[in-house]
Amino acid sequence: MTGGRHLVPALAAPLLGVAMMVTSCSAQAPTAADAPDAELRVEILRTLDHDPNAFTQGLEIAGDDLFEGTGRSGESWVRATNLGSGTVRARAELPPPLFGEGITVVDDTVWQLTWRDGVAIARDRETLSEQRRVALDAEGWGICALADSLVTSDGSSTLTFRDPRTFEAQRTVQARRDGVAVTHLNELECADDGTIYANVWTTDTLVRIDPADGGVIAAIDASALRDALPPGPRDVDVLNGVAQIPGTDRFLLTGKYWPRMFEVRFVP
């Protein structure tokens, strides 16, 4: 395959609902996980179609768009889909042998990581055209944006905080739960309340992390999503792809080659 196909037209109507929620809901941080080390699960609110040929590595809502990035050499791309119409507004392929990983949006820039290629790519938010490349000093897995820094994962328990302009590392924290390192941190989402959500690779678990010290505030069991997946044209891979619907306690979750995306809440 040379790239994933566009979102199916059936996605347009469900995403319109997401767009309306983004603009109409009052801002509220997730509250179910406020207790330390909470054990949560996903509550499925809505099921959406998802491109089953997308090896999803990054997912984020910014403005009127849903941004998604994929991986594998020859299959890596990034695209922006309008939430109101469900149409693909812009798309850019990542030429082989580059292997795409996580993405995030900062102002007018979309940052895209590569896995073991040693570069991160800055793209124009509107066109997704490549603007520049910067050196990446570790494997690239996930990336998200806090108010004053980018946060990246490299498949270990380490989160690296970077300057959003130069990409230089500023500090690191180790994700730990009950004193034990949580490894295989993958796709990241920096939530409205300043905490960080991370997929834990090869599992159906997400963790919610305090960026100040790396402490795990909550663990979220998302295995119900896999049980809700219909057969697709390709064997489904791991859970990967988390995007908060801004201003709400709801998230979009999907996975690699998953034919569905889910709107969920995290509940006890």
Beta bridge partners of 251: 244, 264
Backbone conformation region of residue 64, classed left if phi is above 0, alpha if psi is from -120 to 50, else beta: alpha
Examine the pLDDT at 264 and tell me if it is beyond 90.
yes
Q: Which pLDDT band, with edges at 50, 70 and 90, does 64 fall under?
A: very high
Sheet containing 216-221, strands listed edge to edge, beginning at the edge strand earlier in sequence: 185-190, 196-200, 205-209, 216-221, 38-49, 260-267, 250-255, 239-244
227 Cβ contact partners less than 8 Å away, ≥ 6 residues apart: none
Query: Which pLDDT tens digit goes with each residue over 138-194?
Result: 999 999 999 999 999 999 999 999 999 899 999 999 999 999 999 999 999 999 999
Query: For the whole model, what pTM was predicted?
Result: 0.88
Distance, CA of 268 to CA of 266 (rounded, Å) = 7
Write the DSSP assignment of 27-76 as a string of letters: P----TT-STTEEEEEEEEEEEE--TT--EEEEEEETTEEEEEE-STTT-
Residue 235's CB: how many other CB atoms inside 10 A? Answer: 8
The 3-state DSSP class for residue 233 equals coil
Q: Letter for the amino acid at 18?
A: V
- SS3 at position 171: strand
Mean pLDDT of 216-241: 96
Query: For residue 183, what are the contacts with CB-CB under 8 A and spacing of at least 6?
Result: 155, 156, 157
pLDDT of residue 22: 43
Share of the chain above pLDDT 70, in %: 87
Rounded Cα–Cα distance for residues 232 and 54 (Å): 12
Sheet holding 130-135, edge to edge: 100-106, 109-114, 119-124, 130-135
